[in-house]
Amino acid sequence: MIECHDIYSNYNTSLSRPILNGITLKINQGECVALLGLNGAGKSSLLKAMVGLLPLQKGEIYINNLVMTQKTLNRVRRQIGMIWQGGGLIPQLSALDNVLCGKLGTVSSWSSLWGFSANDRITAQSLLRQLGLEQHEKQKVSKLSGGQQQRVAIARALMESPKILFADEPTSGLDLVATQQMMNIITDLRKQGMTIVLVLHDLAMASEYTDRSIILDKGRVIYDGKSENIQHQFAHLC
């Protein structure tokens, strides 16, 4: 479960307001939610706040009943897999090494000197296999297609078996086939009971793949409700 209680980020002088300007929401375990809004509405900033990467001036965030503070941040982050806008992969590393990077938040700096454990490698290989990338595990990700890179990003996000997945525009730059593959993977994860928050720009996609949509405008929630038929109501805002 994810809860934001009246959260405000720091004052932003170029916007003359906080980027997140009083957001309250609750997302239950197993929900698949689209986060929508015009460019600059605050969608990526909200995801960043929910993984502790955007300082708050006011308000609280709870992840599975654990309040986010400096002390709890590592425990909170372990429960969340994140796919960044553009994938956020390291282009010169292989697909397998990028997936293993999903473990870096939890291995101590001492043990990372010895490399990843055999178990970690087995988990990473198994994730790549499940995502249809077993042939590509040794390839540099810069040599993979956009769709393949996004699947590597998903595998990396799943390394810690998170209960929550955040994906920032996971289909951006993908062709129709790769978009369909990506959304099928997300649908499968959803069927397994994962809580999923997707930043999307396509209202029709939100309506097709998610139950609930949250629309932001100028750092505030202006709609929180069913995704069904949302494209007819809010076309001017996304």
Q: With contacts defined by CB under 6 A, how many residues of the chain interact with ligand ATP?
A: 11
Site string for ligand ATP, 88-127 (x = CB under 6 A): ----------------------------------------
Torsion of CA 122, 126, 128, 129, to 10 degrees: 140
Phi, psi values for residue 36, rounded to 5°:
-125, 165
Question: Considering beta carbons, is residue 116 or 166 the nearer one to ligand ATP?
Answer: 166
Question: Considering beta carbons, is residue 12 or 72 the nearer one to ligand ATP?
Answer: 12
The amino acid that residue 56 corresponds to is L
Task: For residue 91, give every residue at least 6 positions away whose Cβ sits within 8 Å of its Cβ, in sequence order, or none.
Answer: 140, 141, 142
**Interface with ligand ATP, residue 49, by CB under 6 A:** no
Question: Considering beta carbons, is residue 86 or 147 the nearer one to ligand ATP?
Answer: 86
User: Considering only residues 1, 5, 12, 231, which one is a binding residue for ligand ATP as defined by CB under 6 A?
Assistant: 12
| Of 24-32, 43-51, 99-107, 144-152: span binding ligand ATP (CB under 6 A) | 43-51
Which residues, 138 to 157, sit near ligand ATP by CB under 6 A?
Answer: none
User: Considering only residues 23, 27, 34, 44, which one is a binding residue for ligand ATP as defined by CB under 6 A?
Assistant: 44
Q: How far is the CB of 191 from ligand ATP (least distance, A)?
A: 27
Query: Exposure pattern of 145-162 as b/e (b: 16+ CB <10 Å)?
Result: ebbbbbbbbbbbbbbbeb
Phi, psi values for residue 2, rounded to 5°:
-120, 130
Strands 212-217 and 32-36: parallel
Q: How far is the CB of 41 from ligand ATP (least distance, A)?
A: 4
Q: How far is the CB of 209 from ligand ATP (least distance, A)?
A: 18
Q: How far is the CB of 9 from ligand ATP (least distance, A)?
A: 8
Which residues, 13 to 42, sit near ligand ATP by CB under 6 A?
Answer: 15, 19, 37, 39-42
DSSP 8-state assignment for residue 169: S
Q: How far is the CB of 222 from ligand ATP (least distance, A)?
A: 13
d(CA 133, CA 125): 9
Q: Say how many residues make up the chain.
A: 238
Phi-psi region of 87 (alpha: psi -120 to 50; beta: other; left: phi over 0): left
d(CA 166, CA 69): 19
d(CA 49, CA 28): 18
Where on the chain is the footprint of ligand ATP (CB under 6 A)?
A: 12, 15, 19, 37, 39-45
